[in-house]
Structure 1
Amino acid sequence: MFQETGEIEGEFAVYGTERVLNAFFNYRKPAPLFLPKGNGLGISPDDPIIVPSWMTKEDLEYYTGKFEKTGFTGGLNYYRALDLNWELTGPWTEAKVSVPVKFIVGDLDLTYNSVGGKDYIESGEFKKDVPLLEDVIILEGVAHFLHEEKPEEINKHIHQFFEQFSI
C-alpha cells in the first residue's frame, strides 16, 4: 500500500527539496523505486548533494524552485491512484496502439526494470499491443531522465523516426 497523503511529503521535508530531487536524479539502480516509511530515499539530511554529470547545479536549482512552489503531492498522487487509473482505463484493455512507434528507454530506468516491464518489452508481448512498433532502443547506462542524460542521442533517434514520414 502506498503511503497516505502527507506522510512521504513530511519525510521529504526533512531532507529538503533539493536533496530529494537530487536523489531521484541520481537513482541508477536497475530496479523499481520503493519508498518505505522511515527513510524511503535511503539518504541522510547531511548527505552532500552531488549533481549528476548530465545536469548543472543551475538545472537542479531550477527544478528545486519549481518543486518548492508546487511540492511533490501531484506527482505522488499518480502512484496513490494506480488502482483507480487501471479501473478508469479498463475499457481500453484490449486496445492496440495503431500508429508507428519507436520506443526508447534506458537500461537503468526504474520503470523499465519494474516488475514485468523488461520481460514485457523483450518477450514480444509489447509488439502484440503495439503492432506498428518499428524499433525498441535500450540505451546502456541511462536511467529515467534519458532526454537529459543523452539529449543528442535522443534527438537523433526522434529525428530519424520522423524523417521516414517526410515527403
Structure 2
Amino acid sequence: MSAGLSPNRSSDLSALLMAEERSDLMSQELRKAEGPVVLFLHGFPELWYTWRHQILALSSLGYHAVAPDLRGYGDTEAPASSSSYSCLHIVGDLIALIDYLGVEQVFLVAHDWGAVIGWYLCLFRPDRVKAYLCLSVPYMPRNPEMKPVEGMKLAFGEDYYMCRFQEPGVIEEEISRAGTAEVLKKILTGRRPGPPLLPKENPFGIYPENPITLPSWLTEADLSFYATKYSQKGFTGGLNFYRALDLNWELTAPWTGATLKVPVKFVVGELDLVYTTPGIKEFVSSGGFKHHVPLLEDIVVMEGVGHFINQEKSEEISNHIYDYISKY
C-alpha cells in the first residue's frame, strides 16, 4: 500500500484510505443487493457506462444489475501482453465475479466484444447462465481450417479493422494523433454498414472542417466520460481482445462443432456493422445460427438502428431484456 505514497505526506495516506473505504463499501453493496442478477458485458470501445440506462431500468424492476469494466478497460488492471486476454482469462474473471456475488446463475446481457465473451461463457460454463440476451454479434462456430485473422485478411483485406488492430502500438499511435475524444465520437456515431476499413491515410475519417454532430442518444457528458477514462487508461487493454483472436482459436480446438445449451434471444440493428458484414445476415436468417444455438428462441432485427443499439434505443432494449428474462 505504501508504494505510491510520498514521504511524510499524510494527505496521501488519507486519500488512499478514503478510496479503499469507498471501494469496500461498494463491494459490500454489490454483495448484499437483492434480486436476480443480470450481468451486463460491454464491448469496444465502451465501458460499464454503456449500460447506464439498462442498469436503472432493470434495478427499478427488482433485478440486481451488475455491469463490470472488462479486463483492461476503465478502472481495471490492464496486463500489457495480449496473451492475458484470452477467452479463458476473461471467462475466468466472470466466473470469479459470479462466485463473489454468491449466486449460482445469472441472466446474461452482452454487446459487441462482450457478446463474444458471452458466447464463450455459455460454451464453457452453461451451468452459470440462466438465459442470454445477445446484442449485435451472433455465435460464430470455430473454423478448424483457418485462423481467424488470416481468414479476415483474405475476406476483407489488410485494412479491415480487426487486422489493423493486430500489431501492438500501431493503432494506439494513430488514435493518439487523431485525438481520443474525436476517435471515440467517430466510432460511436458511425452508421456505415458493412465491414469497417481503416486505411493508412486518415484511418478514422476525421476531418476538422466537417465536425460530427452528436445524436440525441449520446451527450457531450457521455462522450466526456468515455474520453476521460480512455485518456487515463489508453486503448491497449481493449485492443488486446482482438490481438488474442488467434490464441482463442487455438485454445478452443476441443469445442470445435460444439453447440450451445443456453436459452438465447438475439437482437440486432438493421444497420449494424456486424450484421451487414457479408455472410452474417444470411447465417443468422438461414438457420445456421439456430443450428449451433439450438435453444435460440427469438431473433429481433430493429429497423434503422446501428451498432451501439443499447445506447441508441435504450428504452426498447431495456424492454426486450425484461420481457425475455421475466419468463424465467
Q: Does residue 236 of structure 2 align to residue 73 of structure 1?
A: yes
For normalisation by structure 2, the TM-score amounts to: 0.48
* Number of the residue aligned with 1:132: 295
Partner of residue 286, structure 2: 123
1:95 aligns with 2:258: yes
> Of the two structures, which has the highest relative contact order with CA contacts closer than 8 Å and spacing of 6 or more?
1
Deviation at 1:131, TM superposition (A): 0.6
Instruction: Return 39-48 or 49-58, whichever deviates more.
Output: 39-48
Question: Corresponding residue for 2:268?
Answer: 105
- Secondary structure of residue in 1 paired with 2:249: helix
Query: Is the 1:15–1:45 Cα contact (8 Å) retained in structure 2?
Result: no
Which of these two proteins has the greater Rg computed from alpha carbons? 2
* Aligned residue in 2 for 1:26: 189
How far apart are 1:105 and its partner, in Å? 1.0
Please give the TM-score of this superposition, normalised by the length of structure 1. 0.90
Give the Å deviation of 1:45: 4.8
Secondary structure at the residue paired with 1:62?
Answer: helix
Q: What is the match of residue 323 of structure 2? A: 160
* Cα shift at 1:56: 0.8
Cα distance in 1, alignment partners of residues 210 and 224 from structure 2: 17
CA distance in 1 between counterparts of 2:324 and 2:285 reads 20
Corresponding residue for residue 57 of structure 1: 220
Percent identical pairs in the alignment equals 52
The 3-state SS of whatever aligns with 1:94 is coil
AA paired with 2:183? Answer: V
Q: Which amino acid aligns with 1:160?
A: D
The one-letter code sitting in structure 1 at the alignment partner of 2:221 is E
- What is the alpha-carbon distance in structure 1 between the residues aligned to residue 246 and residue 276 of structure 2? 20
Conserved 8 A contact 1:16-1:45: no
- Distance in 2, matches of 1:78 and 1:57, equals 27
Question: Is the CA contact (8 Å cut-off) linking 1:11 and 1:38 kept in structure 2?
Answer: no
Deviation at 1:77, TM superposition (A): 2.2
- CA distance, structure 1, for counterparts of residue 209 and residue 232 of structure 2: 23
Distance 1:21 1:147, change over 3 A: same
**Amino acid aligned to 1:144:** H
Gaps of 5+ in 2: 1-157
Distance 2:247 2:210 in 1: 36
Deviations 1:56-97, CA, capped at 9 Å, x for gaps: 110000011011111122222222332222222222121211
Cα distance in 2 between the residues matched to 1:66 and 1:144: 21
Measured in 2, the distance between the counterparts of 1:40 and 1:91 equals 37
1:28–1:109: 8 Å Cα contact kept in structure 2?
Answer: yes
Please list every run of 5 or more consecutive structure 1 residues that lacks an aligned counterpart in the other structure. Answer: none
- Measure the CA separation in 2 of the matches of 1:72 and 1:104: 27
2:220 equivalent to 1:82: no
**Per-residue CA shift, 1:78-136, capped at 9, x if unaligned?**
22332222222222121211121110111121122223221111111000011111100
Secondary structure class of the residue paired with 1:134:
strand
Give distance in 2, aligned partners of 1:45 and 1:22: 13
Q: CA deviation at 1:46?
A: 5.0
Cα distance between partner residues in 2 of 1:107 and 1:75: 25
Q: 1:162 Cα deviation (Å)?
A: 1.4
Write the distance in 1 (CA, Å) between the matches of 2:223 and 2:174. Answer: 20
Amino acid of the structure 1 residue aligned with 2:211? P
